[in-house]
Every structure is written in C-alpha cells, then in structure tokens.
Amino acid sequence: MHIVLSLGGSLVNTENGTDTEYLAKINGIISKCIAKGNKFGIVVGGGFAARKKANKLRTKGKNEFECDEAAIKITWKNAKSVIAALGGSAYPKVIKDFYKARKLAMHNNVVVMGGTIPGITTDTDSVLLAEAIGAKQLVNISNTDGIYDSDPRKNPTAKKFDRLDYHQLIHIACEYDTRKAGENFVFDILACKLIARSKIETHFVSGHSLNDLENAIDGKAHNGTIVKEI
C-alpha cells in the first residue's frame, strides 16, 4: 500500500546545514515499514535554506515567481539528501513531475520529490502525489505536533485536536489565514481542499517523535491529529 510522507524542510536542513543524523533515523523507520509491505512517496520541503534564499532574492528585487523557482531548487537539494540517506531503498533521482512519479512508483519502494511549480508549496505537491499514485494515506511530518485551535507558539492555552473531519480542517485553515496574515498554517489551504476531494486520510505528527511517526504510518493512534471523514 502506498503512503505519502510530506517531510518539512526545516527537519532536513537547519541553520547548521543538512541534518544527516535525523535523516538516518527517518531511514530506520522507512526501512522497517518497507519490510512490513509499505511503499512510499516522499515530498521534501525547503526549510530554513529556502526561506533564506527567497528573502535574499526579494531584497535584490527578484519577483515572487523567481523566489519560488529558487526555493524549489532547494527542495530538490533536500530531496537529494533524503535519497542519499535512504541508501538503496529509493529511486536514485529526485522526481520533478507527477506523471513520472506515478510510473516510477509502480516499480520502486520509495519515490522522492521536492517542489514542482511556483505558486504552491510542498504540502500541495504531497497531496497531488498521493492522488497521482493512488495513496489513501498521507503523513505530514513537521515541527508542529498537530492541528491546534489557535497558534500554539503564541497562545499557551491553544487546544490540540485529536481528530478532525476535512471540513473542520478547511475551516481552521481559512480562519488562520485571515487572522494571521503572513504566517503559515501547518497545511496550506489548497492542500486541505485536495485531501477533502480525494478523502485522503491525513496524519499530522511532530518529526521529533519517531514513535508517533511510525504509529501514523501504521495507521495506529498517536499524539498528533488525524484528519479523515468522521
């Protein structure tokens, strides 16, 4: 069964560069899950390096398309680091379009992508990959350990949801957008709408809890948030 992992770039690269130690741990979990019969599509984000690059280009007068273009190249670089960490388990090249990913997913245990086109994010890419390869389960791995009713970084009493349906998630993503302009919700609104149209069960877990990650892949209870039809 195919599962898509959306791996936040901030887990792959930090201010200190690529976190190879962390990627080795991810490899451990993926290898274990492949042995259980799972196959994976992985979409890797841009993280700190992408944000830094885009900000630098903006100050030089580059437009948003050009900033996205540069950020996408960094997601590809991060995706390459993930492939290297996975040893022989993954198709050895970063895949840059969904049609190719669909073909390659048939014959490989793991296919790895980064970004695709300007104007979207790797959240949306991960859902499109899930649709393309027929995955019905997606695990979003980031620095945030679930979906909250308000920003947990700002509100210490923010409440984490164990479970939401698609429409509740879309509602929260929209509210968050209007309330906190300029700040990112954990999953972008287009990605939220796409999981709803295809009924893709989506698990939001902290990348720092490998136990939660493994449980999410196995479809077991975890400390993050599960979004599905209730």
Residue span binding ligand UTP (CB under 6 A) among the ranges 68-76, 171-179, 190-198, 220-228: 68-76
Q: Output 118 or 152, the one with its CB closest to ligand UTP.
A: 118
User: Can residue 68 be called a binding residue for ligand UTP (CB under 6 A)?
Assistant: yes
| Contact residue for ligand UTP among 2, 3, 8, 127 (CB under 6 A) | 8
Question: Least CB distance from residue 171 to ligand UTP, whole Å?
Answer: 20
User: Can residue 41 be called a binding residue for ligand UTP (CB under 6 A)?
Assistant: no
Do 110 and 42 contact (CB within 8 A), yes or no? Answer: yes
| CB neighbour class for 63 (10 Å; exposed up to 12, middle 13-18, buried from 19) | exposed
- DSSP label at residue 138: E
Question: Least CB distance from residue 51 to ligand UTP, whole Å?
Answer: 6
Question: Least CB distance from residue 25 to ligand UTP, whole Å?
Answer: 18
Site string for ligand UTP, 162-201 (x = CB under 6 A): ----------------------x-----------------
Report the DSSP beta bridge partners of residue 112: 42
E strand map for 109-200: 110-113, 137-142, 163-164
Gyration radius from the chain CA atoms? 17
d(C-alpha 203, C-alpha 170), whole Å: 15
Alpha helices in 36-162 (DSSP H): 47-59, 64-85, 98-105, 122-133
Q: Please give the helix or strand (H or E) that residue 169 lies within, else none.
A: helix 166-179
Spatial strand order in the sheet of 225-227:
110-113, 39-44, 2-7, 137-142, 201-206, 225-227, 163-164
User: Can residue 46 be called a binding residue for ligand UTP (CB under 6 A)?
Assistant: yes
Q: Output 46 or 146, the one with its CB closest to ligand UTP.
A: 46
User: Can residue 146 be called a binding residue for ligand UTP (CB under 6 A)?
Assistant: no
Length of the chain: 230
Residue span binding ligand UTP (CB under 6 A) among the ranges 19-27, 40-48, 173-181, 210-218: 40-48
Q: Output 72 or 216, the one with its CB closest to ligand UTP.
A: 72
User: Can residue 18 be called a binding residue for ligand UTP (CB under 6 A)?
Assistant: no
Question: Least CB distance from residue 46 to ligand UTP, whole Å?
Answer: 3
Structure tokens that stand for 32 in this block: 């274990």
User: Can residue 130 be called a binding residue for ligand UTP (CB under 6 A)?
Assistant: no
Residues in touch with ligand UTP (CB under 6 A): 8-10, 45-47, 50, 54, 68, 71-72, 75, 115-123, 125, 184
